[in-house]
Amino acid sequence: MALKIPAALLDQLRQHSERTYPYECCGVLVGDFDNSGGKMVMAVFPCGNTRTDSPRNRFRIDPMELVRVQREAMLAGCDIVGFYHSHPDRPAHWSAIDLAEAHWPLCSYVITGVEKGRAMFTNSFQLQDRDEAKHFAEEAIEVNHLHTRSKDRTIQRGTMMPNEISISPSLYPCAGISSPKTANSAHSSAYASITKTIAT
């Protein structure tokens, strides 16, 4: 179980966390699920944090923005495979609030800890099960360094990486990185929940 992401896209979400400091950033990861339960990120969609009461330690993605991302992902033959946000001056580890507001089983929840404006550790956690049984499991991040590209997909927003790439992966443990289509039905049923809870 691993989240595979091109280095350029990982850099993008980490830079997003620095730009929004001291507030939390947030965004959506689009790509493909594989048969082993892993995911390949093909695009990063930075979103605005619409939280106004406590943006330093909470985030909210506009439900309509999430709808647009999901539509564009489907048109490109991709899925929403995860979400990311930052923890300003806090560890890159999920909180009780993060778990309570997570509603997409099998998706990755990527967290970057930012200290004094600088992105430090980035960790990923996969959401498993539902309702009272749901929990996060630590997930390795594989950073892919692109060698070749072909058959580019087109997504209108976000930063998109190629559909088929030759990679030389480097495996980073979930302890941190420093300086399946079969899940569609689960995600669809969870969508009604996330549009409610993510806006509260």
pLDDT tens across 146-193, in order?
543 333 444 444 544 433 322 223 333 333 343 333 344 444 444 333
Distance from C-alpha of 127 to C-alpha of 110, rounded to nearest angstrom:
11
Whole-number pLDDT of residue 89 = 98
Whole-number pLDDT of residue 146 = 58
List the CATH number of the domain containing 94: 3.40.140.10
The predicted-structure confidence for 60-73, as pLDDT tens digits, reads as follows: 999 999 999 999 99
State the pTM of this model.
0.77
- Known active-site residue 24: yes
The total domain count for the chain is 1
Containing domain of residue 31, as a range?
2-197
Distance from C-alpha of 82 to C-alpha of 106, rounded to nearest angstrom:
8
| Token pair of 47 as six digits | 């979103």
Question: Catalytic one among 24, 72, 101, 139?
Answer: 24
CA dihedral 171, 129, 101, 28 (to 10 degrees): 40
